[in-house]
A and B are shown apart, each in its own frame.
Chain A
């Protein structure tokens, strides 16, 4: 069995690099995308076990991207983690309505990122 594959979508390059580095170090196979179009292109080529999506992406929001990703392959439900720097609770409810598995508030502790990702994949 190969390593679990994670697609991380984040428009802040520093945070994207941080998340990629931490997840890779934890043994996951990670692809990073700086925006929605790159994410959809990657998802068309490869299969993933988890999406980690920033909510405030330029253009398409993280929630819209989640719906677009889910629409590609409705039979296969890929677990979701939404990452956001929005502290307000309204965003959390919006995230759950979209069917998000879990929610990660930025800034996060490295341990929280890993435990959230593991919890979302149910392992």
Chain B
């Protein structure tokens, strides 16, 4: 039978930590150094796998080194060290206890366990010391006498501390207690930092999940946007196709291709044609506006002669103005330098302003279009001292706009009053497109107007629109 547990990262509390991870090596070395100085006993610390963390000798260096130089000594010494590092410590009661080990040289070591939270993490080895009860050199050294100069060995051994094993065991126990405190403090620090790391990892995982969600919803939105664009393009196409016939056949009839029309028939057909064209403008504006809203205004900038654009715009509305006996005049500064703008967007902005002017000016009224560099513009002066902005304004003597309405007319679908829709046509899209196009150029549009006196709409545009940075 197997128990399936939910997969979760191994936490700091689940994992046993090694001695090396738990202690701060410099602090441990400092501690051992104090012990060595205090007790004149060497200190070695090994982890559970027998790897050495600390090894400080005192007095025994030359003695051991001398014995180590001769082949039998080398072998015996290595045996002792291996035992000290790895031999399992005796079990005393429920836990590991101390053990003494005597080297072939007659010197002795005491091993004590390092325990933390019930886990054996390693051992501390104190020594070598010369046991208090020991007489002359060890019998084993005498057996190897041929290899060593025993007088020299005697001299070197004198430098090693003499101590009772009981005393060293007490010291070892004491050392173990101090180490426990050090481990406790280190463990707390390690635990805290581990928990920080895990908290940060958890935050990171959450963030990753969040950003994945965001990415997915962004992709969904993009897909929706694409569908919306396709839908609009299709609807636009489907509306324009029948309008082609409505407008085309009306024109053909009006041109007399199917025979002479009487004035009444002509009048009716003109209405059909006019309404068809109004519908076409609405469809065009709707698609333009939805494009602006979904993708922003994309400018195709090029050097453009502004006077030519103004003339083309005027000629677009001229037939309608003439029909209404509106006097359409221009004051165009032909000498102005070419501007870097999107000519189609500029033309459409001016045409929209002109269409509105014609719409809201009574029969026989006046419209004046002006264009030229911005006069006296201290802030708008270019690097070579020339004006860096230009203006296009459309002035009419129509019905005017009340001050309270003058901001709102640039909002999409806003109309001064809905009865004006029936009287003048349109859906309140023209000015909001003008605003989008002009602002995309880094320009602005505003209106000055008095009720019953007329309105002046002004476009203020930079002579050189900067290329937008690629996103």
Contacts and interface: CB of A to CB of B under 8 A. Distances in A.
B243 A107 contact: yes
Interface in B164-196: none
Interface string A6-20: 000000101100100
Main secondary structure of the interface of B (DSSP, over half): helix
Nearest to B255: A110
B245 A87 contact: no
B79 to A, nearest CB: 87
A109 interface: yes
A25 B257 CA distance: 8
Main secondary structure of the interface of A (DSSP, over half): loop
A14 B287 contact: no
Interface string B208-237: 000000000000000000000000010011
Given A22-B252, A25-B257, A85 B244 contact: yes
B272 interface: no
Interface in B335-370: none
A106 to B, nearest CB: 4
Interface of B: 233, 236-237, 240-249, 251-252, 255, 257, 276, 280, 284, 287
28 contacts: A12-B241, A12-B245, A14-B242, A15-B244, A15-B245, A18-B244, A18-B249, A18-B252, A21-B252, A22-B252, A56-B237, A85-B236, A85-B244, A87-B236, A87-B240, A87-B287, A88-B233, A106-B243, A107-B240, A107-B243, A107-B244, A107-B248, A107-B276, A108-B244, A108-B248, A109-B247, A109-B251, A110-B252
The list of the 3 closest CB pairs from A to B, nearest first, reads A85-B240, A107-B244, A14-B245
Interface of A: 12, 14-15, 18, 21-22, 25, 56, 85-88, 106-110
Given A18-B245, A86-B233, A110-B248, 5 more contacts: A12-B241, A18-B252, A107-B248, A107-B276, A109-B247
